[in-house]
Every structure is written in C-alpha cells, then in structure tokens.
Structure 1
C-alpha cells in the first residue's frame, strides 16, 4: 500500500522568476510529482500578515499597486494540478527591472503563498510554500 501511495504522490514546487533579460517575472507553481495534486487551500501572506486565500479579492488587494498587465491564476480548494503541469500564480510578461522594481520586490520579498494539497488518496496535508528571500 505504501508503494502505491508513493507512486502517485504529487510534489508542488514554487519558483520565483524575475528575469530582466527574458522580460518576465512571477511566481510559477509546478507539480513535479508523479500524481495529481488536489489543492485543499492556498493561504496568502503579505509582509508577514495573513490576508486570505488565493482568490480574486485577495489578489486584487495584493496587486492594488501592481503594474497593468499582471496575469493571475486563482487557486482554490478542489483545484487539481496534473503531474507535470505548471501554472503562473502571478505573471508579468513585459517585465522591466527598473520600471517594475516594486513588482519584483513584491514577488521576491513581500509575498508568501502557502498551498496545502493532497494526493488521490487524501488526508496527507502536503504543503508548498514560497518563502520570501
């Protein structure tokens, strides 16, 4: 039974991207595991303060002073990320280090997203968290 559970275990990882050469910045969520990840909740912290779950009202608050063109991906309980799937929770495709310094600071230092998830078996409460640097 343990082998069966390990053979479908998801592994969610978050990457912070701030690339002035490729002109993109954001937080990418990747399922690097062998099975689908079922999200149970996604908690958001801004400057160390819990401000809600990763839904439209929360990311509107987080991005109230962000540049135009930031793409958002809502992540709520019951959402599924398939093995090998990746999504950008936040993404600015036309990133310029000087012009968008505040957005770079937001994704690198001020914002923490804690995603709780489980496998098809359920009940594990795995956690993927992006820690500010």
Structure 2
C-alpha cells in the first residue's frame, strides 16, 4: 500500500466518523426539541382550604401546550362517553344541582401553566355538597389523552379515585 492509498483510507474513515457524529447530534437535538415542548397534564381533586370551592381540575405543568386527542368518562364503572356537555348532563342529572363545568373535546388546547376546573362547586360545604365530593372522588373517572405540538405521543392522564 502506497502513501496515497493510506491517506485516502484515513480520509474516508474520518469522513464516515464525522457523518456518524453528525447524525447522532441531529437525533439528540431533535429529541431535545421535542422534550422542550412536552406537556404534562395532571388532574387533581381539591377541597378549598383558602377558598370555598371544591373542584376537579386539570393543570398543564409541562413545558408546551397539550392538545387533547380524546377523553373518556367512566361513571359508576360504566364508560359513558367523552367529556362533553351531553356526558356531563347524563352524569349529573340526578344531583340536587349541576356543578359548573368545563368540557374538553378533541382538539382543545391547554396552554403552559393553564389550570382549568373540569367540575366545581362554589360555596362548598361538607354537609350540603357531600354528593359532589363523592362524585369526583369515587364515582366518576376522567381520562384525558393528549399530545404535544409535534403529535403522535399519545400521553394520558386519569383522575384517581380515593
């Protein structure tokens, strides 16, 4: 092997190594960019301590907006539909009054830091509104499927019964 062949082989190895490093860095940068806008939804049940509101709330604690792709509501162990006005009315029709509501339908966006009450009762009293706390803590389960702006992740969050 002469010197020119050796130099050509070394140059080829260096070029292939550089290409590999470039591809790894590009993949890493893409993953970083996806994570930098990843939403993180949480659903919490809260009885007011500083206020008199009892609520089931959804919060986007992530770094990017959450796009709702699907919601599923289970009531007394039976799937009743997505979290829309029809399902809300079906779930609350037998209660003394209907709590205030925010529905989540396909395509709805929850912005970074946004906190929304899915259901809430103002002027909450343990005795008068026990039925409401029973509803959000034991009888009703809401699952929200969502994704980031990139799409395709199929993230999910569920309210958890006590």
Query: SS at the partner of 1:102?
Result: helix
Instruction: Give the equivalent residue in structure 1 for 2:46.
Output: 17
| TM-score, normalised via structure 1 length | 0.95
Deviation at 1:21, TM superposition (A): 6.6
Shift of 1:93: 1.0
Q: Which of 58, 83, 99 is the matching residue for 1:54?
A: 83
Larger Rg: 2
Aligned twin of 1:6 = 35
Partner of 1:128: 157
* TM-score normalised to structure 2 length: 0.78
1:114 maps onto 2:143 in alignment: yes
Report SS of the residue matched to 1:109: helix
Aligned to 1:98: 127
**2:109 corresponds to which residue?**
80
Aligned residue for 1:5, secondary structure, equals helix
Q: Structure 1: how far apart are the matches of 2:49 and 2:59?
A: 22
Q: What's the C-alpha RMSD, in Å, of the aligned pairs?
A: 1.3
Q: Residue in 1 aligned with 2:63?
A: 34
Cα contact 2:72–2:81 (8 A) shared by 1: yes
Q: Matched residues in 2 for 1:50 and 1:29: separation?
A: 20
Alpha-carbon distance in 2 for matches of 1:70, 1:41: 22
Secondary structure in 2 matching 1:83: coil
- How far apart, in 2, do the equivalents of 1:3 and 1:29 lie? 26
Q: Unpaired runs of 5+ in structure 1? A: none
**Which of 1 and 2 has higher RCO (CA within 8 Å, sep 6+)?**
1
| Aligned residue-pair number | 133
Secondary structure of the structure 2 residue equivalent to 1:114: strand
Gaps of 5+ in 2: 1-29
Contact 1:67-1:100 at 8 Å conserved across structures:
no
